[in-house]
Structure 1
Amino acid sequence: MTSYRSAFQGREQIAHGTVAFHFEKPFDFGFKPGQAIDVVLADARTVDVQSGRHTFSIVSAPFESELTIATRMRDSTFKRALARLPVGSLIEIEGPFGSLTLHNDPARAAVLVAGGIGITPFMSILRQATHDQRKQRLVLLYSNRRPEDTAFLSELQSFEERNLNFRLIATMTLMSASVQPWEGQTGMVSEALLKAAAEGLSNPIYYVAGPPGLDAGMRQTLHDSGVDDDDIRSEEFYGY
């Protein structure tokens, strides 16, 4: 696997408990939207070798000049080190890898199903598709507990205005604990919601990314809805 040197450029909170990290994009680094990288913290004084590596889906799109990842800030050795990494610090990037990328036939629509931080590979896909004005129907079904937990929500809403081929269906599962208003869908991703997402689409392909258990649950729900297994794509999600 190819290794690159990069510099840390900054961080920003993008939802409750979720932070985006920005890195310099090596001049010869190329990737496909939906792929992932290993981030290796090179300073042995900061973190031990075993805990100094973590895999993340790439949030940024290939047309952008930086590399961005996003993650829930859980209490791990790596994430504690990442949280206090000084701007300008050198890190290593290995990759890219992963196959959760859009199919080649733009005549077939894509329904993207994301749970929580599983949105990250789809952000790269949707940013690139909107930038390119890709002539392909794309629907994102995005589940979170509350609006304040929903990473990139305002950007995704803006995509609907900028990309006539994109539709967002966001649903919240714990509005009783929210302090923000929400007028959209509520409840878990159901067979009915999946059918609503696919309404008007001819022979779509489904992509699934999210917390452990989401893949199996969505595959079963899609199977119960009559979707062929060959039209459901997922892989081990990178980003926790």
Structure 2
Amino acid sequence: MTARLDALLGRVTMYRLVLYGLAILFVVGLVFSLLGVVRPGDALGMLASAAVLVVVSLLANLVFSRLFRLTPHAESTLITAGLLYFILPPTLTPEALGGAAIAGVAAIASKYLLAFRGRHVFNPAAVGALAIGFTGLSFGAWWPGNPWMLPFVVVLAFLILFRTRRLPMAGVYVAVGLAVAAAQYTFFGLGPVAGLQYAATQSALWFFVGFMLTEPLTLPPRRWQQLLSAALAAVLYFAVFRFGPLYNSPEFALLVVNLFAFLVGQRRGIRLEFAGRRRLSPSSWEFDFRPLRPVAFRPGQFMELTLPHGGSDARGSRRVFSIASARGEMLRFGIRLPEKASSFKRALLDLEPGTRVSATSVGGDFVLPKDPTRPLLLVAGGIGVTPFIGHLEGIEGQGRDVAVVYAISSPDDLAYAEQLRAAGCRVAIASAVRPDELPVGWTWIGPGRLSGEALLTAVPDAARRSVYLSGPPSMVAALRSALRRAGARRIHTDVFVGY
């Protein structure tokens, strides 16, 4: 089931998924308003508010992008407008519509004016909502927190959290939020059950965690940092307080954790210069980029590249790729390019040396344990071998006990053979036919798809190793289950979705 959902959601980018989710909620809210169960009588106000926010946000983004000589990102702008639509109360009054317009401009302006060295700091929608609250022209209503909207919000939030692998973060936020709400309701004499019911069904908790808290550009890079920020956001959201003009609210909570993420993560924008490409196999290439300024990362982490191009398809102009290098002098990305490649990958293949591109973030927890005595099992499917090349480069000379199992469709698809050979680790190949020649110490597992039984036969002591699985969702899910049944407890996964 997990692999099927990954395959389905992988057809669109995360940005496009969020945009589709907001569009669905807009239609649902409009229908419910016409039926008189959600904001009855506000249908025209919903249409007016949506129109004002979309038009003003797009125009503001066009103006600021030209002033700063940057390429505008339409999807991101529409998402910001959509989030503000669900934060501010829909209305037909000129004063409130003017407030929505100001919020839209403030939100878009924050992307350019509140950026530090090119680094996106705050969630724009939260900035817009907080700014307009100070003026008194509007306020954060967070109106999707309605029992009628709840099922739709929960399902869409789950899909986004699943697609972005942020369910643990959401779990921490929900658990801490419910606990704080129950404690406060008990303190005020209303009882914990009332607090839990309010937080779970009457608040915008699910919309906040699904659509806003996990926004990737303002997240900390490591999982433990993300979990900590989720707990902090929950406390600031649900704990009642007021310090002058500041009080507990979703937008204030989000801005605080955005600042935390900025302090613990990359504190400047990332600019890269394309250095060249080389073919790894008939269906894969390696692309090399030279950072204009040092980029901090650990082998096995990923980077999101931005590549504006004409005729962008549903996959968009931003893609996440695992880093295939261990040091920052040159960032390498191994990428599969099928015959019907996305417009992004075609634009990537057309890059000329010297072309400069930007990256939005570095993150991920697919990193090796620091203990050099811990034996490792690295299992790759296809181009999923990419992060392991960075791993092996990073532990070069440590003499670590490493076994690599590499599943490919055919011997021609073997990428990074030279790097694997130079690493000196044990390598077992699973392919439809036996390769003509294998380096010393390499073995061929046999034909057919790599199964858990074949993997355990090739590496009998897999259960005592720290296991790293990287590849298509179906392969990762099947092998993880087989390894757990065999007794493996330290299993880390990196799923290549949408390839």
TM-score range, shorter chain: 0.7 to 0.9
- Structure 2 letter corresponding to 1:207: Y
Q: Does 1:142 align with 2:142?
A: no
CA distance in 2, matches of 1:55, 1:238: 10
Asked whether the 8 Å contact 2:403–2:426 carries over to 1, the reply is: yes
Equivalent position of 1:54 in the other structure: 319
Q: Which of 464, 479, 486 is matched with 1:203 structurally?
A: 464
Matched, 1:37 2:303: yes
* 1:8 aligned counterpart, secondary structure: strand
Q: 1:71 aligns with which of 324, 330, 335?
A: 335
Pairing partner for 1:223 from 480, 484, 490: 484
* SS of match in other structure, 1:175: coil
| Runs of 4+ with deviation above 4 angstroms | 44-50, 199-202
- Distance in 1, Cα, partners of 2:383 & 2:313: 26
| Aligned pairs for 1:1-240 within 5 A | 1=217, 2=266, 3-42=269-308, 44-45=309-310, 47=312, 51-62=316-327, 65-74=329-338, 75-130=341-396, 133-160=397-424, 166-172=425-431, 174-175=432-433, 181-182=436-437, 184-185=443-444, 186-187=446-447, 188-199=449-460, 203-228=464-489, 231-237=490-496, 240=499
Q: CA offsets per residue over residues 2-32 of structure 1, 9 Å max, x none?
A: 4211111111111111011111123321110
User: For 1:88 and 1:46, how far apart are their aligned partners in 2?
Assistant: 23
1: distance between equivalents of 2:325 and 2:457?
A: 28
Per-residue CA distance 1:178-232 (angstroms, 9 max, x = gap): xx6245412333344433454467821111000121111111211232223xx11
> Which of the two has greater helix per residue?
2
How many angstroms apart in 1 are the aligned matches of 2:372 and 2:427?
A: 18
Which residue type is aligned with residue 436 of structure 2?
Answer: P
Distance 2:334 2:463 in 1: 33
Distance change in 2, residues 1:68/1:239 (3 Å): farther
Answer 1 or 2: higher relative contact order, Cα 8 Å, separation at least 6: 1
For structure 2, the 5+ residue unaligned runs are 1-216, 218-265
Provide the rounded CA distance (Å) in 1 between the counterparts of 2:313 and 2:454.
45
Separation in structure 1 between the aligned mates of residue 472 and residue 314 of structure 2, nearest angstrom: 26
Rounded to whole Å, the distance in 1 between the matches of 2:409 and 2:492 is 24
Aligned residue in 2 for 1:163? none
Structure 1 length as normaliser, TM-score?
0.84
**Structure 1: 5+ residue runs without aligned partners?**
161-165
Question: For residues 64-113 of structure 1, what are the alpha-carbon distances to aligned partners after superposition, in whole Å with 9 as ceiling and x for unaligned?
Answer: 62111011113211011111112211100222101000012222211011
Q: Which has the higher strand share?
A: 1
SS in 1 for 2:395: helix
Contact in 2 for aligned 1:17/1:73 (Cα 8 Å): yes
| RMSD (Å), alpha carbons | 2.5
CA displacement 1:47-73 (0-9 Å, x = unmatched): 5897211110001111x6211101111
Deviation per residue, 1:106-162 (Å, 9 max, x gap)? 2221101101000001110011112xx1242111111111121111113212221xx
Asked if 2 retains the 8 angstrom alpha-carbon contact of 1:36 and 1:238, the reply is no
Q: Does the 8 Å CA contact 1:41/1:47 hold for their aligned counterparts?
A: no
Aligned length: 225
Give, in whole Å, the separation in 2 of the partners of 1:13 and 1:124: 18
Check the 8 A contact 1:41/1:53 in 2, yes or no.
Answer: yes
